[in-house]
Amino acid sequence: MIIGRTLRAIGLTVLWLAPLAVRAGEPQQTSPPPSQVLVQDHQPRPDSSPVAVPEPSAKALRHHHESLWQLGAQILWMLLVPALILFTGFSARLRTWAERLGRRWYLTFALYAIAYGVFYFVISLPLSCYAGFVFPH
């Protein structure tokens, strides 16, 4: 019995290491020696002067500042909603509901995660629609 296990372990190890032995026998691709490399002469182009960047317009600056405020609101929302769910006791009610329906820990976890995800999606939908569609248009 012990000899059979040992032989099986050795056989699996050999099978596992076989692809490495095959790769070791293959010739490795090497780069050509420096004497055979073509050297290209990099001459500057006549139009290589710096490109003039125009000053941003008032509308572009306003849009940039509004996008920063909108990003800040999204970050605050992503922190505030889970904190409210946790500290108002809604999370405990979700857990109790999931325990009643799930009975086993993995079903309880799955039900809680699905319910939390659906609730967070519904609560965040207006802000997501504004940030993803209304604001860019």
Delimit the domains of the chain by residue range: 58-134
Residue 81 confidence (pLDDT):
93
In the chain, count H helices and then E strands: 4, 0
How far is it, in rounded angstroms, from Cα 121 to Cα 116?
8
| Closest C-alpha to 128, from 83, 58, 78 | 78
How far is it, in rounded angstroms, from Cα 30 to Cα 36?
13
Residue 118 confidence (pLDDT):
95
- Contact between 84 and 126 under an 8 Å Cβ cutoff? The reply is no
Please list the ranges in the chain whose pLDDT falls under 70. Answer: 1, 20-45
Residue 9 confidence (pLDDT):
77
Residue 115 confidence (pLDDT):
95
Residue 50 confidence (pLDDT):
84
For residue 50, CA distances in Å to 7, 25, 39, 43, 129 come to: 71, 52, 27, 16, 40
Residue 82 in tokens: 């889970």
Residue 22 in tokens: 């095959």
Residue 136 confidence (pLDDT):
83
pTM: 0.56
For residue 62, CA distances in Å to 45, 47, 53 come to: 38, 34, 18
How far is it, in rounded angstroms, from Cα 53 to Cα 63?
18
- Contact between 123 and 85 under an 8 Å Cβ cutoff? The reply is no
